[in-house]
Amino acid sequence: MTKHNIAERLASGRVSRRSLLRSLAAVGVGVTMMPAIPGRATAAGKEANLFTWSGYEVPELHGAYKAKHGVYPDFSIFADEDEAFQKMRAGFTPDVMHPCTYNVGRWRDADLLQPIDTSRLSNWGDVIPTLKTLEGTQEDGKQWFVPFDWGNTSILYRTDLVDMEEESWGLMWDERYKGRLATFGSIDETVPYAAIYAGIDPYNMSPAEMETVRKLLQKQRPLIRFYAAEETSIEQALAAGEIVAGSTWNGSVASLKAQGLPVAFLNPKEGIMTWVCGLVIHKDAPNLDKAHDLIDSMLSVEAGIEMLNVIGYGHANARAFESVSDETLAAVGLGRDAEAFLKKGVFSRQFKDRDAVTAMFEEVKAGF
């Protein structure tokens, strides 16, 4: 993918904003700071700084902050949470960060976080209840994480090329489609669904259970055409008919349907995978009051509508789901009753032994 194609796809909505940095990295472009919104503060340090993925600096997510302070917040961009973690451990001090739930405990244990005062968040009462108490986000009666965006990892498949008897993760082991399947090369995306298919808790595996998952992944490997670093390559391969099914996120559903392709997002009988990302406050946040204002702005109904309509992920504010069309929700594979929808999912969490899981999956991909 060329730099020009990346920009073109982002502008047309045919690449998810979160995957932009991964694509840029592949062609040798790095981004550390992104002053994307005109009119934000020019005096460094005066406004809350959000350390986030690319794409979340769009004005519509921060309108309430600008209405209160007259300018938009500042932004720092990371490519992934490991990079963010290492940069903060080296001394970088933003106000608000944007990890997913499975990293909250790690960041808190590294003494990078402080609790969030939810009484200062006017939109806290509208947050979907299930998202308020996710594992690892509350400790000692304190809220360390505020949910913001969420979605599902599942299998997107071509309905004209796949003969679907039942909706199951077993599709990714179907010998009929050898060489025409793709999956993510990340342990956070592929290892969990292999475990779920085997009836195993992905995040609390015993050595024997990990060996079961290893064997499943080894059985899958000859069927896989490629391991993907991001969803764009899976979308392109599905559009071309190179593959018939691949693991991806909600946003890919809308992208391919907008191209007129006959695709469907699997709702596996074993349980769909659900990820939740959100907002935390740095232990030494320079602008603590504005950090709470920034979080509250991102929890607003207006931010939620932008998330659903444009970015293609779920939002923490339940009222946002009342404010978008049925077509919008269907396009991103979500339901109007977000609480009921979320209760059907298997939430991503922190692996009990991440190093061991990583080593196992890397060995499988390498053919061992």
- Break the chain into its structural domains and give their ranges: 31-144+274-337, 151-271+349-365
pTM of the model: 0.78
- Pairing relationship of beta strands 272-282 and 113-114 according to DSSP bridges: antiparallel
Residue 41 has pLDDT above 50, yes or no: no
**217-269: per-residue pLDDT in tens?**
999 999 999 999 888 899 999 999 999 999 998 878 888 988 999 999 999 99
Residue 86 has pLDDT above 70, yes or no: yes
CATH code of the domain made up of 31-144+274-337: 3.40.190.10
Rounded distance between C-alpha atoms, residue 190 and residue 346, angstroms: 13
Rounded distance between C-alpha atoms, residue 130 and residue 153, angstroms: 18
Rounded distance between C-alpha atoms, residue 334 and residue 137, angstroms: 24
Average per-residue pLDDT for the chain: 87
**Average confidence (pLDDT) over 345-352:** 88
**Which class would CATH give 151-271+349-365?**
alpha beta
**Average confidence (pLDDT) over 5-10:** 33
Identical fold for domains 31-144+274-337 and 151-271+349-365, yes or no, is yes
**Average confidence (pLDDT) over 348-360:** 92
Residues 247 and 173 sit within 8 Å (Cβ to Cβ): no
Q: Is the dihedral of CA 356, 362, 365, 368 positive or negative?
A: negative
Residue 25 has pLDDT above 50, yes or no: no
- Per 3-state DSSP, the chain is made up of helix, strand and coil in percentages (nearest 5) of 45, 20, 40
